[in-house]
Structure 1
Amino acid sequence: MAGRDLTQDDPLDDFEARLITCAGVTKTVHVAGTGPAVIVMAEMPGISPHVARFARWVREAGFTVWMPSLFGRDGAVATAREGGAVFQHACISAEFRTLAFQGSSPVTDWLKALARHAHAACGGPGVGAIGMCFTGNFALSMMLEPAVLAPVLAQPSLPLDNPDAVESPPDELAAVRARLERDDLTVLAYRFAGDRFCQAGRFAAYERALGHRFIGHVLPDSAANPDVPPFFARFVATPHSVVTAHLIDADGEPTLAARDAILAFFAQRLRPA
């Protein structure tokens, strides 16, 4: 895959921007590739060049990427000011619930409907989904949709006010665990050891709720790329984004190995031998 300048806005010109209506709500979804569907949900402050790079890796691995626009300016390298404004708006939006004891974000209902739509369009055994940071837990909530078979949680950061909690309420966690057991599925998750937004207590909470069906991976802080975009330099002064802004694209790097493991997980679940 030809490299793109990650310091410049990405035109996303190799994706098709579709207006897709699900559950009565219309959103832009950037679609590219062939094969089983994988829904890529961006981190804050939106579909950055780093998020688009990961989506292209998924596409090149033989999947159809469905990348919904949930917040921010699509393709942008957001300034610290712009990214901060996106984050503040999302925190007060009715679509997202950012604090403990508020339950799952309402936007996950739309995402489950998108998974059904993508599965019908692409076929195959089912759909993969990866959430990152603000959207990290969304991939878990989507497991209540039968089409979703391969959920990945990259540094799930909600709720913001309780590092030892998870966004999903107890009844949702119980329903997800029952489904994981019934269908013999697992959940992959990744974080950096020193991440202040996704701490060890959160992974421990997932382990208590999901048991051995939750497979968490913790990367050393030394594996994080120190050269990050302005929003991250200002607001995310910690190793955080495993497969996007903090990924080091070089052989032997733990973050690149994490990317490869995620792609292999999608292949195992969505393209079984």
Structure 2
Amino acid sequence: MALLDSWTLGEHAFDGTTHPTYRKGSGPGVVVVHEIPGVTENVIKFADEVVAAGFTVVMPRLFGSEPPTPYTPPQLARSMTQVCISREFTTLATGETTPVAGWLRSLARELHEELGGPGVGALGMCFTGGFALAMMVDTSVVAPVLCQPSVPFPVGKARAADLNLSPADLATVKERAAGGCAVMGLRFTGDVAVGTRFDTLTRELGEAFIRVEFPGRKHSTVTEHRQQEGVDRVLAFFHERLDP
């Protein structure tokens, strides 16, 4: 049986942009945004764990080949080229929200309107790690999780500390955090791709930022270098914030 045979293929359109989506499960909604190079086998397996925990998962495909996308050096290179030339994403700019955030917020709103409840969860990883923070600007997102956020690419101190948010979006995120919307982040402490963003998040959000950190220089906390404690913490966070 293919990994996605039990998932329902659909699509979501917003502001002239359409991306395919995969949906499965029942219960409160969670948007799982894949990492580079795409919707890989381990991304699907993680999403299946979220479904098994009692959630409706919608997994958009923003880039990469037809899933399951192979996790190979050639595919990594192709996906990296794709995101670097696409107008939907930012890679080096500071103080700027990634353009695809609008599309993702629309997806979250639609899911929340359908399912009701307190809101939906959002989880990004690696290149898309910070996207969950940008989605939090929309009040439909009440459980944002950032797995090793790596954009903008940490070339220099300013980029390494940047949250990939415009000043206006950062102000909204801070306001929502002060109002009780917690943000969870996961990383390996030696992961240079994350830069100093966790320190920025702690400074800007205070106790609303929940740091989940593991020793070592690995990268993908819930997929390629999966940490069971991290997965358990994420699922508990979703239950705490999303269950009616």
TM-score, with length taken from structure 1: 0.84
1:103–1:169: 8 Å Cα contact kept in structure 2? yes
1:174–1:209: 8 Å Cα contact kept in structure 2? no
Q: Distance in 2 between matches of 1:122 and 1:49?
A: 27
1:32–1:64: 8 Å Cα contact kept in structure 2? yes
- The aligned counterpart of 1:229 is none
Whether 1:41 and 2:37 are equivalent positions in the alignment is no
Classify the secondary structure of the residue corresponding to 2:192.
Answer: coil
2:187 to 166, 181, 191: 191
Whether 1:50 and 2:42 are equivalent positions in the alignment is yes
Classify the secondary structure of the residue corresponding to 2:136.
Answer: helix
Task: Report 1:132-147 matches (<5 A).
Answer: 132-147=125-140
**Deviation at 1:121?**
2.1
**Deviation at 1:30?**
0.3
Paired letter, 1:123: G
Q: Distance in 1 between matches of 2:87 and 2:35?
A: 18
Classify the secondary structure of the residue corresponding to 1:119.
Answer: helix
**Deviation at 1:23?**
3.1
1:167 to 159, 164, 167: 164
Paired letter, 1:71: F
Give the fraction of aligned pairs with identical amino acids, expressed as a percent: 42
**Deviation at 1:102?**
5.6
Whether 1:120 and 2:116 are equivalent positions in the alignment is no
Classify the secondary structure of the residue corresponding to 1:146.
Answer: coil
TM-score, with length taken from structure 2: 0.94
Structure 1 gaps of 5+ residues are: 5-9, 222-237, 248-254
Cα distance change of structure 1 residues 131 and 104 upon mapping to structure 2, 3 Å threshold: same
Paired letter, 1:19: E
1:173–1:210: 8 Å Cα contact kept in structure 2? no
| Runs of 4+ more than 4 Å apart | none
Whether 1:217 and 2:196 are equivalent positions in the alignment is no
Cα deviation digits, residues 75-132 of structure 1 (max 9, x gap): 1224311220111110111000011326111000000000011112222221000000
Q: Distance in 2 between matches of 1:79 and 1:154?
A: 20
Structure 2 gaps of 5+ residues are: none
Classify the secondary structure of the residue corresponding to 1:168.
Answer: coil
